[in-house]
Structure 1
Amino acid sequence: MRFLSVSANSFLIEFSHLSETTNFFRYLKQQHHPAILDMIPAEKTIFIEYSAFLIEQKQLIEWIAKQQVKNIAPEVGEEVIIPVSYKGIDLAPVAELLGITVAEVIKRHTENEWKVAFIGFSPGFGYLNSENAPFGSVPRLSSPRKQITMGAVALAGEYSGIYPKNSPGGWQLIGHTDEKMWDIYRNPPALLLPGRRVIFKDNKNGSSIFVASSIKEIGAVEQKEGHEAVLKILKSGMQTLIQDEGRHGQFALGVGVGGVMDKRAMQYANECVGNQIHSAVLEILNGGFHAEIQQHTVIAVTGAEAEVSIQYKDGHTVEASTYEAIALDVGDQIKIKTPRAGLRNYLAIRGGIDAPKILGSRSFDTLAELGAAPLKQGDNVYVEQSIVGAIPFNISFQKLSLPTSSNIVILDVILGPRLDWFDADSIRILSSQDWLVTSDINRIGLRLHGNESLKRIKHEELPSEGTAIGALQIPPNGQPVLFMNDHPLTGGYPVIATVADYHLDLVAQIPTGCRIQFHPISEFMDVKI
């Protein structure tokens, strides 16, 4: 057993084999340790997220290391039968690679029972393995495809999987199914839960048969009766989303936390209008926002340094201040221009913003496509009518110093968990050179570019493992990708370091063209038991 550093409130436990990993994961689930908040099992690792307020990392590791784990009876999951049309673009190449016929590939895939080992990559994407390992290890594509169709049945390593949505991917495609792997109106939304047994049938017109908990809708996307529209969107800008603190405790479904990118700005916006600080807000990317007030209300705008103007219904326009309450009446309009510094603004409405709660959150997850869709012209925003307090006056907020595209931002990082996959020169380069923030940035992550790339000393394929918000994942080109709120739960490229939690709000405000310097604040933890 090996413990590897990730962040101030998470670490990896590494094992030698999948069976050992799943056995220990089942044991930890049974123990219900009060400080362990959530876990992400993978092939050879368990990602542990814990409360640093309840226990120190060293104490938790010592507790885990002392556990005497005996073989736990495996979960006997429900059987799911998946009909497949075996006409995948990679079916013939896979057969050639394995030195067998296409018919033999189909036979091996359908005559073996597969079990969902864990969920990762995206919600509903189950990693299926078979005790017989019918294909040995099938290599991933050397260059991932930019788009794979929902329902594609694929092979990679010793696993089979089914893509739950249209997405990029590097697995070998051997067929397609019409079965839905992920449906937010099903309980649970994921069809392939860990432990479930899967049988593939060569019958594209078949249907799946499985025993599961009763199916029910978990939230319809219509407005609750009595909740009135408070804003009408006239222009949504580049992207306007409803966000709150996100979805906690959903790792088992392959769903990350997501939620608001700049938590501090969200909390300040809510405090300005007397809301509970975790109430949902609008997250507005790079300005261009224009809305009309539908009923008397009080709002506040925080986050990026941007010009906020109010056009009153009598025609006159004033510039409004950020980080303070703004009283508005029916017919008034608000505009938020492109920020001078920073990237995202947050707009809170007194009483909170109403939207359907999906898996406990109103947030929209751009990777999982969960929650209320991005707002567009003509959409209404509704008030939640939650309990509110008095609107505070003359309070000061500790605002972030926000970057522009010409600035250098210094981010603290915790080294690991795969620092030892890189040569000593790369570890030096990580913190000694500036990294340019490219135009390829979104809520999933920021692609960075440096004059010198990072080089690996281990070149074997890394089994997918859990990752944290702020992880610096290094793909084969040696240029880091900084994972943000909507990143995949698991990744197959080594993570060299993770941005400290207290700098994630700052990362949310970093624009294209900015440069980043990484400052390690810890030694690499690599403890073998």
Structure 2
Amino acid sequence: METTPPAPGTPASPDPSTAPKVLSVRAVGTTAVLAELSGLPDVLALQALLLKQPLPGQVDVLAAAETVLVMADSPRSARAMPELLLAMDLTVQVRAEGSLVTIDAVYDGEDLAEVGRLTGLGPDGVVAAHTGQVWTVAFGGFAPGFGYMVGENQVLDVPRRSSPRTVVPAGSVALAGNYSAVYPRQSPGGWQLIGRTAARMWDLGREQPALAAPGDRVQFRPVRELVEVAAPAAHANEADVPAVPSGLRILSPGLQSLIQDLGRPGHTGLGVGAAGALDRSALRRANRLVGNPPSAAAVETVAGGLTVQAVGDQILAVTGAPGELALRQADEDSEDADAYLERNIPSAEPFALLDGEVLTVGAPQRGFRSYLAVRGGVAAEEVLGSCSTDTLSGLGPAPLAAGDVLYAGDATVSQVVSSPELQPDFPGQGVTVLDVVPGPREDWFDAAEVESFYSQEWEVTPRSNRVGMRLAGKALQRSREGELPSEGTMTGALQVPPEGMPVLFLADHPVSGGYPVIGVVVDHQLDLAGQVPIGARIRFRRVEGAG
């Protein structure tokens, strides 16, 4: 594979009568809007302008097939965006081309013959058509490094497979609709596979992790065999490992324990979601209690069972879902070397865990997720500016396991710890009411189905995780045929797959999706949503213009 420098931009003289424009703008919850355009050229024009001249409060921009999702830093900023977008002059006078990336590929994919039949080109014709044109990465999505590439013609426009594969190998070269892509990692997928490459589409060792980022051009080159490029060896940074260990040893991670901070927003164009703590206020509270900045990394644990041992003297605090906090220490007055004393520690206040002492976080009485902060923060390697574990993309530290040692960092903002704090009420096994802003695709359901969505109670199923909360209830029926072109999604979005059971997207959700979103939970209730336990029920309350 080769990369050449960007080619210079060329002047354009568009006809004013056909100048690209925003057709409409739909609210996506309280902190984002979805601009609809007539097609991909207009989408790319708007994306280019927003990246060059951001709107007030703009946090991130995600282009898709026919839409651009604009994310804001507050509900107030989001409310001002529709008027600004509709008034924009999207005519781009000069547009620089991205880099040209050459990717070697062996064309022996399982679906090559089928694509040849669908297009009428035959296998050799498919290879000639795929390698005989330059593809442009229009937008990212699905996974880090997965770029939706559009070609110079439509001869390879083929449908997705009727039955998606559960496993698509990393490096698979694929087609779907009028797009081509390379799967950067092993994952499920429904695209037609025509070949494979050894090119590393996503590599955090590079300054730009994505080999082909939005705006770049790609030329595929047919080869008989691939030269495997070994991944760079990982070398521990000695400066990151304290000479004298100080921190926490994991004796048991419980059901699941992860390192989380406030996430990595701003990278959706590369297919990377924000991730981060599901209960952001609980994370901030825990850090405040031990004198850390709000964004310091801590441990998010689910449903209790986390047990840690102090390595050196530590200052800790546990917030979020309240449960029994048991501290165990050696009984120095006993002749039995294994004797110990145990006492309970209150939640939401700082306490000392001395060298060798053990803390166990018990099962929550209410809520679902607890946050354990250590003074100085958890020292972990940052990926794109964050230590958060993203369970969908695989970015960030691995889930914690017995025997792991978490080193305490030096991220403090105060010489003293905070006073005990009050915690909010957490949801139990009853009904939690969440406010929802309708749309952006509520119009895919008739009035009776929309009423059913809001009037019934939905049960949180055990299939739920940090990607999404899967709900069970009376299935919703769409009023439209076909599928929605992929478009950007938000945390809090309630996407409705064909079977009619909504999925409430949480922090590790994919950045784009092709199922209609009937509504979006308001931003200030996302912490509450992240605390609803398995088996509990949710009722959604429609609100207009919330924020």
1:456 match: 478
1:409 match: 432
2:118 match: 97
Q: Deviations over 1:71-119 (max 9, x none)?
A: 3434312221212222222222222233331222222111121111111
Matches within 5 A, 1:357-376: 357-376=382-401
Deviation at 1:444, TM superposition (A): 0.7
2:411 match: 386
- Percentage of identical aligned residues: 40
Does 1:311 pair with 2:311?
Answer: no
Pair 480,429 (structure 1): closer, same or farther in 2 beyond 3 Å: same
TM-score computed with the length of structure 2 as normaliser: 0.89
Query: Which contiguous aligned blocks of 4+ residues in structure 1 show a shift greater than 6 angstroms?
Result: 215-219
Matches within 5 A, 1:81-480: 81-136=102-157, 138-206=158-226, 224-226=240-242, 228-314=245-331, 315-392=340-417, 395-404=420-429, 407-451=430-474, 453-480=475-502
Over the aligned positions, Cα root-mean-square deviation in angstroms equals: 2.3
**CA distance in structure 2 between the partners assigned to 1:16 and 1:426 by the alignment:** 28
DSSP-derived class of the 1:455 partner: coil
Structure 2 unaligned residues grouped into runs of 5+:
1-22, 332-339
Contact 1:305–1:402 (Cα < 8 Å) also in 2: no
Pick one of 515, 519, 542 that aligns with 1:497: 519
Letter in 2 for 1:368: S
**CA distance in structure 1 between the partners assigned to 2:112 and 2:387 by the alignment:** 41
Letter in 1 for 2:166: K
Letter in 1 for 2:498: P
TM-score computed with the length of structure 1 as normaliser: 0.92
**CA distance in structure 2 between the partners assigned to 1:220 and 1:460 by the alignment:** 50
DSSP-derived class of the 1:37 partner: strand
**CA distance in structure 2 between the partners assigned to 1:59 and 1:331 by the alignment:** 55
Deviation at 1:183, TM superposition (A): 0.9
DSSP-derived class of the 1:186 partner: coil
Deviation at 1:218, TM superposition (A): 11
**CA distance in structure 2 between the partners assigned to 1:188 and 1:218 by the alignment:** 18
Deviation at 1:232, TM superposition (A): 0.8
Q: Deviations over 1:289-333 (max 9, x none)?
A: 111111111101111122221111331111221111121111101
Q: Deviations over 1:226-265 (max 9, x none)?
A: 3733111111122211110000222222211111111111
**CA distance in structure 2 between the partners assigned to 1:457 and 1:73 by the alignment:** 42
**CA distance in structure 1 between the partners assigned to 2:212 and 2:434 by the alignment:** 38
Query: What number of residue pairs does the alignment pair up?
Result: 514
Pair 430,204 (structure 1): closer, same or farther in 2 beyond 3 Å: farther
Pair 48,449 (structure 1): closer, same or farther in 2 beyond 3 Å: same
**CA distance in structure 1 between the partners assigned to 2:214 and 2:545 by the alignment:** 35
Contact 1:220–1:356 (Cα < 8 Å) also in 2: no
Pick one of 512, 520, 529 that aligns with 2:542: 520
DSSP-derived class of the 2:248 partner: strand
Query: Larger deviation: 195-204 or 407-416?
Result: 195-204
DSSP-derived class of the 1:359 partner: coil
Letter in 2 for 1:285: V
Structure 1 unaligned residues grouped into runs of 5+:
210-214, 525-529
Contact 2:25–2:86 (Cα < 8 Å) also in 1: no
DSSP-derived class of the 1:338 partner: strand
Deviation at 1:340, TM superposition (A): 2.9
**CA distance in structure 2 between the partners assigned to 1:323 and 1:362 by the alignment:** 23
Contact 2:171–2:198 (Cα < 8 Å) also in 1: yes
Pair 58,507 (structure 1): closer, same or farther in 2 beyond 3 Å: closer
Q: Deviations over 1:174-213 (max 9, x none)?
A: 221111111111111111111211111221535699xxxx
Pair 249,393 (structure 1): closer, same or farther in 2 beyond 3 Å: closer
